[in-house]
Structure 1
């Protein structure tokens, strides 16, 4: 359950910068060296100068990209380029973008999210012992050094939450009904709109409503770095509960908002039995209605489209032995067997297509104790791998539909959040609001 807080955000003064679109940037992970040069040229106060900054010839311990970023933050505030909101606020945040041929608006909010208590006593800044949630130690330690230099949370973490009654959205819509948003259109055509909300009654209602919602982080790196930053501060002195470093800037979206989808993971198996489609159909027949589909790698594209129309519970299997695709639909007997063979596991897990594929098909029917699989993220890549000379390493491939985000929500509280499987593209841009941590 997320505990959110209003923050004294720093925001660009449009009188100084002219256009908000000139100073925003993509998340740090999406900024290449060439992109960074482009952002530098776009505006002298582009947020990239404090988000990542650029290494320069002659950098040393006393003058480097971290010290420059810190100086930019200080100078921009002194010059009035960045202004601190006088009252604590949460920020209604909308993204307008194209999704599956339609123009959609994804509605959310930016706010401080209270960091969880976590034992980081084994963490060391030399990179020899990084927390479990830090995937890339070098990048993460660089990010931590940047946060330590600027004391400003620039890039938001991203989370989705479940609010079936849409209470949070109703409160936020009412709060900004008569307000004019700040607007920025990025280079990809995404329109970003921001409304600061300082009404303490509205903020209190949102906090109360959010406290009753389950939530899951889909982009956690800024949160992980903020936890390390707070840990280092705590080594120096105790932090009061109201200290700004107790929170991380987070973009929240309700999980039914448009454009949220789960990652597609299509497996190729290296240790599946080398059987023809007729034998596979016979084995699947216990718990599936299975029939031959078409031959050839290219049939995967047509099969993918058909499976998407049919929905979850339907699978495609490729047998290398006879270059044949099989289409299989889970039967009621298959559903009952999943319940019987894994009663101790969450019901939501038992009904995921990935669980049905891994447990019922691979483990039960094909008797593979530990499937050895390689995953690709789209059908085009699957076709390419089947066509390649490397495919003899694999005896079988499968098409499995990704779950819907709401299928994963019951698992958020079980220790299996699946947050990294949920795509929130386009990601929130950086530069709409900064979260000062001092």
Structure 2
């Protein structure tokens, strides 16, 4: 069963840092090098110094950055920049953001969740991870012994009974934290210290499965950290803080839960691979072409994107290549995936657009081996349709693949079946902000 408990969170002291917008960031893995540098400039206490230190020629290695992060964390606690709550709490947050022509609000409960191996079937992943990333994150965790970012997880609650009980608990209270970030997103946070609410929510969560939406690397790193602590600490027991991880829990019934597509932008393809691509696709796809001769052809681009979205109920993938005067829409021929992959993957996985892209297009048609598939330098991602197309137009990228978003029900089905999607199958939007509350995995001074 899922075990969810309150905790004594560590929060920024707004009397000392002022506007919270100056110290929070998105999760480390969506921050570009330029953005990292900007966050360092905004405020000397920005959490970027803990999650993604600034590198330079005099400080090239990660080990030094991890040590610096630990020193910052300890000093900020000692100086009262960060303060630990005296009473265990659940932290209810709202994230209000624009989406198209409307404003959307997503609710999240930040609490501690007992770590469970995936094979227990209680906390479930849905995507593959990179070993290199987990190794780097483990190094940081070993130095700092703290969760700086929450694992973004989902639970099924069609009537939103749990969420409604949390809303009722804060309905007559002003938020403890209220700020607007640099993107114009509004964030609010309430402490819930009522033990009856704690007990009610913990009990209601016992029969839930938790689906990791974002933070697979951090969750697996926490499992590895727990093993490392248990092997090196003779006093380790079931109540040790390393048994838990800070988690942001969102109901699948929350209307603010949004998944955006993760379009692929590739470099490093040869001229032969590009020139033969369309011909090689003929055996597996019905191909619709839309003339696209220059960057000013906005009507063609709009037609391409609208056609892709209009066919989201079936498999369809958009393609644009360097030096190609047309946009392509690929629809798999009947039985194309079944004929090739029915013996090696179940239908739930075969039916995903991202699987068709990964296994049929990249692996079979373009002949990518595992080394190229794992090469992070070849791939970049965007959630913006136009940006994906425009990345190729000036010749910066070789080819781009434009997808429709994966559905929540697909994520749930695949996770429950114990299956794993290809990397970057989902992009939950927006990311959970980092810096609203932290969790230390050892003892902490209380200011």
TM range (shorter): 0.7 to 0.9
Does 1:194 find its partner at 2:189?
A: yes
Map 1:293-372 → 2, pairs under 5 A = 294-296=290-292, 299=300, 301-313=302-314, 315=316, 334=334, 342=342, 346=346, 348-354=348-354, 372=367
Structure 2 partner of 1:210:
205
CA distance in 2, matches of 1:60, 1:381: 32
- Runs of 5+ consecutive residues of structure 1 not aligned to the other structure: 120-131, 363-367
Partner of 2:221: 225
Structure 1 75/352 Cα, relative in aligned 2: closer, same or farther at 3 Å?
A: closer
Aligned partner of 2:431 in structure 1 is 427
CA distance in 1, matches of 2:49, 2:142: 15
TM-score (norm 1): 0.73
CA distance in 2, matches of 1:265, 1:32: 17
Q: Which residue of 2 is the match for residue 260 of structure 1?
A: 259
Partner residue in 1 for 2:246: 249
Matches within 5 A, 1:381-392: 381-382=388-389, 385=392
Rate the CA distance shift 1:343–1:168 in 2: closer, same or farther, 3 A: farther
Q: Decide which of 135, 143, 149 is 1:155's aligned counterpart.
A: 149
Instruction: Judge conservation of contact 1:5–1:113 (CA < 8 Å) in 2.
Output: yes
Number of matched pairs:
403
Structure 2 match to 1:402: 405
CA distance in 1, matches of 2:169, 2:309: 39
Which residue number in structure 1 is paired with residue 441 of structure 2? 437
- 1:103 deviates by 1.9
Cα 1:274–1:389 change in 2 (3 A) is: farther
- DSSP 3-state at the match of 1:411: helix
Post-superposition CA distance 1:293-332 (Å, at most 9, x none): 6444664541221231343216367799x9777878789x
User: Quick one: structure 1 residues 33 and 219, their matched pair in 2 at CA, closer, same or farther if it must change by over 3 Å?
Assistant: same
Secondary structure of the corresponding residue to residue 406 of structure 1: helix
1:126 is aligned to none
In 2, distance between residues paired with 1:319 and 1:65?
Answer: 39
Could you say which residue in structure 2 is the equivalent of 1:274?
279
Aligned to 1:125: none
Q: 1:405 to 1:15 in 2, by over 3 A?
A: same
CA deviations over 1:389-436 (Å, ceiling 9, x no partner): 997xx9xx9765333222232011223343742212332222211101
Cα distance, 1:94 vs structure 2:
1.4
Whether 1:412 and 2:384 are equivalent positions in the alignment is no
- Aligned partner of 1:167 in structure 2 is 161
Name the CA shift for 1:87/1:134 in 2 (closer, same or farther; >3 Å).
farther
Q: 1:310 to 1:10 in 2, by over 3 A?
A: same
Contact 2:261 2:403 in 1 (8 A): no
Cα 1:57–1:4 change in 2 (3 A) is same
Q: CA deviation at 1:12?
A: 2.0
Note if contact 1:151-1:436 (Cα within 8 Å) is conserved in structure 2.
yes
How far off its partner does 1:193 sit?
1.3
Deviation at 1:23, TM superposition (A): 2.5
Equivalent residues of 2:259, 2:405 under 8 A apart: no
Q: Show the counterpart of 2:180.
A: 185
TM-score normalised over the length of structure 2: 0.71
Verify: 1:88 aligned to 2:98, yes or no.
no
Could you report, residue by residue, the CA deviation over 1:49-87 in whole angstroms, capped at 9, with x for unpaired residues? Answer: 3334456898799x9554443343333333333222222
Partner-residue secondary structure (3-state), 1:421: coil
- Structure 2 CA distance, aligned partners of 1:29 and 1:156? 13
Inter-CA distance 217–240: structure 2 relative to 1 (3 Å threshold)? farther
Contact 1:312 1:353 in 2 (8 A): no
User: Structure 1 residues 52 and 387 mapped into 2: Cα distance closer, same or farther (>3 Å)?
Assistant: closer
Structure 2 residue aligned with 1:124: none
Shift in CA distance, 387/316, structure 1 to aligned 2, threshold 3 Å: farther
- Structure 2 residue ranges without an equivalent (≥5): 120-127, 369-377, 443-447
| Alpha carbons 1:303, 1:316 under 8 Å: kept | no
Aligned with residue 234 of structure 1, among 230, 243, 249: 230
1:134–1:224: 8 Å Cα contact kept in structure 2? no
Q: CA RMSD in A?
A: 4.6
What is the alpha-carbon distance in structure 2 between the residues aligned to residue 336 and residue 372 of structure 1? 17
The 8 Å contact of residues 213 and 428 in structure 2, kept in 1 or not, is answered as no
Q: Offset of 1:261 from its aligned partner?
A: 2.4
Distance in structure 1 (CA, Å) of the matches to 2:346 and 2:426: 19
Larger Rg, first or second structure (1 or 2): 1
